[in-house]
Structure 1
């Protein structure tokens, strides 16, 4: 049994998943999540951090309504367009549409002509608006995916390891671009990652998950302005984190 609720604009994203199981190819019942409980405050950027295969992406699939076979409930905040936007590991752009067309297709019909100049400028896509996905690097394609998500002015933004498989230089540039556009268009955001430094760079709070079946081991508050999170500061945060979560 599961239950989805929509709350008022000031309410947090709340997750209370009693259990999520699936049947393996060997016909064995495996528990992916059990007793998973956390919330993301309104306008907060939070990261779900945990080992690979612990159930992070499963949690996002439940929040997106893609998996309804679980026991428990979750509550989504409403606000802005009352939409949920998602950014995945793959950009999932339509190959026969330009960058700008891909972004505008995510908008409602009455918003298709909205001014996107500022958004494209922040993400460094102004000169790429007429290009097709095949003409983009993976890094640029992921910028386009971010533009598509933010253009809808979502109430909730969910991100599933959006910088995986990129070289570190490109990934770091995209992380900082994400923070720039999120700061300009703040929304409640939850990002899945297994990269500790990435979580500490981006998040207001890091929600630390156990191995499968996932439950919350604890919350790590990042009480430092993002502009102050340089290499030395991140080293210190990593040290503090590992002291608490060895």
Structure 2
């Protein structure tokens, strides 16, 4: 199996995505949405509510095929795709370890996951059931499940939403720790600009509906150098470049 991230860039070229409103009226969700994410890069999709961030992720995951345009995933037809959603979606009748191993192909069901569980602080919780976990711990399990498949591309849809800031920050740190040890092309949807500044190499800023790329904000500083003061400076630079986009 090739190492995670060894593949072509993620390339997105959605010409148009239309859906019907509750009253049956056509609504253009996306139009001329085009961007790419380089190999091993962690990018965030950021923009106002309703601009099509989650719709874009659903298209890339193959959950919505009713659109015009195209996209290319790293690894092509052989891409190993992992996704982390807002809800952990764990099977309540399976243990933590069973939930993680269920995503592995049969040939790898006995793979050594000790390092992954240890990195996410789950080493002592492998025999617990989802009902015995806090929401924060359940989301750690969701991260473990995603990284267990050694993905070519990782999609995350606001995985830390609704958590208190302390718990969310702890999970961001764990995510970066695991991702840095297993770098893979990643695209994450977030409403939290500070979160995007902390995590990403590139922020893809979407316009209001119909969503298209309003611009890119690249962050080339190593994450360990992103002190609160540096983040504050980055936020100021972002607001100067994208006035009105800081409060989605």
TM-score, normalised by the number of residues in structure 2: 0.94
**What displacement does 1:92 show?**
0.3
Identify the residue that residue 124 of structure 1 maps to in structure 2.
Answer: 121
Identify the residue that residue 179 of structure 1 maps to in structure 2.
Answer: 176
Within a 5 Å distance, the mapping from 1:184-199 to structure 2 comes to: 184-199=181-196
The one of 149, 157, 160 aligned to 1:160: 157
State the distance in 1 between where 2:159 and 2:171 align.
9
Within a 5 Å distance, the mapping from 1:92-107 to structure 2 comes to: 92-107=89-104
Number of aligned positions between the proteins: 238
Q: Please state if 1:222 is matched with 2:230.
A: no
Are 2:7 and 2:152, in contact at CA under 8 Å, matched by a contact in 1? no
Within a 5 Å distance, the mapping from 1:24-173 to structure 2 comes to: 24-78=21-75, 82-173=79-170
Q: Deviations over 1:23-55 (max 9, x none)?
A: 011111000000000000011000000111110
State the distance in 1 between where 2:119 and 2:190 align.
24
State the distance in 2 between where 1:10 and 1:115 align.
24
State the distance in 2 between where 1:206 and 1:25 align.
32
State the distance in 2 between where 1:217 and 1:189 align.
20
Q: Please state if 1:213 is matched with 2:198.
A: no
State the distance in 1 between where 2:7 and 2:98 align.
32
**What displacement does 1:194 show?**
1.2
**What displacement does 1:68 show?**
0.3
Within a 5 Å distance, the mapping from 1:221-240 to structure 2 comes to: 221-240=218-237
CA-based RMSD of the aligned residues comes to 1.2
State the distance in 1 between where 2:239 and 2:173 align.
24
TM-score, normalised by the number of residues in structure 1: 0.95
State the distance in 1 between where 2:169 and 2:21 align.
36
State the distance in 1 between where 2:6 and 2:131 align.
39
| Runs ≥4 residues deviating over 2 A | none
Identify the residue that residue 4 of structure 1 maps to in structure 2.
Answer: none
**What displacement does 1:126 show?**
0.4
Unaligned runs of 5+ in 2: 244-248
